[in-house]
């Protein structure tokens, strides 16, 4: 039996969506962020030493697996039967693997740095806040924001060339890429001047499996990225 250890407003929403697309049975163990730190609770460390979501457990395979890309590859290899990925050995499958790992390896780090630096001035003692704001603002202006824009422009160019990231067909690479684009649309102005990102988000959020995952997973702050109403809960 598959169980998703699911943290609210996190990457683990993608795993629920993947399992809904494949119409696989699964359970959910819910975890909530600490309201002050917004970090995952310590209880997640009982499942995986790093205490991060998502974590997938599979009693049939005696597997406990973290990392979204690894979870997607595992589920597709064991339960996918060729669904949600291009045929192996094709150029489309090479692109599929690239986007599957690019999402966390390249796209998310600058977005996370932008978020952390934006929060930094409010997290230090008040006498240090002006200095923290100067440091954070300088880093954002000179280093982080240009990198975020570079990635967002790259997504726009890719989606202008093809409706989906790996090619003409929807794949699990689009599920994996959903989170960076949702975050960037909500927090980094990804939709401004990029006419293909918004339609991509509207297409993915309109998929019945995505809507079912939103219902099962509960509140998800990025469900309206691209101006799409969240599923009725």
Q: What is the DSSP string of 78-96?
A: IIITTTTSPPTTSHHHHHH
Mean of per-residue pLDDT scores for the chain? 89
Average pLDDT value for residue range 69-80: 98
| CATH number (domain holding residue 10) | 3.40.30.10
Q: What pTM value is reported for the model?
A: 0.90
Average pLDDT value for residue range 57-73: 95
Least confident range of 56-70, 121-135, 206-220: 121-135
For residue 42, the model assigns a pLDDT of 83
Domain match, 28 and 105 both? no
Which of 23, 46, 80 lies at the terminal end of a domain, its last residue? 80
- The pair of three-digit structure tokens given for residue 33, joined into one six-digit string: 């962020």
Domain match, 28 and 114 both? no
Average pLDDT value for residue range 139-150: 87
Residue 212 lies in a domain: no
For the chain, the distance separating the N- and C-terminal CA atoms, rounded to the nearest angstrom, is 25
**Is the pLDDT score of 228 beyond 50?**
no
**Is the pLDDT score of 125 beyond 90?**
no
Least confident range of 34-38, 54-58, 144-148: 34-38
Query: Which domain covers residue 150, as residue numbers?
Result: 91-207
Q: Where are the alpha helices (DSSP H) in the chain?
A: 12-21, 68-75, 91-102, 108-123, 129-139, 145-161, 172-187, 197-206, 208-217
Average pLDDT value for residue range 182-193: 95
- Please name the residue that has the structure tokens 């094709």: 90
Residue 145 lies in a domain: yes
Q: In what order do the strands lie in the sheet with 2-7?
A: 26-31, 2-7, 55-58, 63-66
């Amino acid at each position: 039996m598959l169980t998703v250890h699911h943290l609210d407003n996190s990457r683990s929403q993608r795993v629920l969506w993947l399992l809904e697309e494949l119409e696989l049975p699964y359970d959910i163990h819910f975890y909530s962020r600490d309201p002050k730190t917004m970090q995952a609770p310590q209880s997640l460390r009982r499942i995986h030493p790093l205490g991060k979501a998502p974590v997938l457990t599979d009693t049939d395979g005696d597997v406990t697996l973290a990392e979204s890309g690894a979870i997607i590859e595992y589920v597709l290899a064991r339960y996918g039967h060729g669904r949600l990925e291009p045929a192996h050995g094709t150029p489309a499958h090479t692109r599929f693997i690239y986007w599957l790992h690019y999402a966390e390896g390249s796209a998310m780090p600058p977005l996370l740095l932008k978020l952390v630096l934006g929060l930094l001035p409010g997290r230090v003692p008040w006498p240090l806040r002006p200095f923290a704001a100067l440091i954070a603002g300088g880093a954002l202006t000179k280093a982080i924001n240009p990198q975020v824009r570079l990635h967002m422009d790259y997504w726009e160019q890719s989606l202008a060339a093809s409706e989906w990231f790996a090619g003409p067909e929807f794949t699990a690479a689009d599920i994996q890429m959903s989170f960076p684009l949702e975050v960037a649309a909500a927090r980094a102005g990804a939709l401004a001047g990029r006419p293909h990102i918004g339609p991509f988000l509207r297409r993915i959020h309109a998929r019945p499996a995505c809507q079912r995952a939103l219902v099962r997973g509960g509140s998800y702050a990025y469900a309206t990225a691209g101006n799409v109403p969240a599923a009725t809960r």
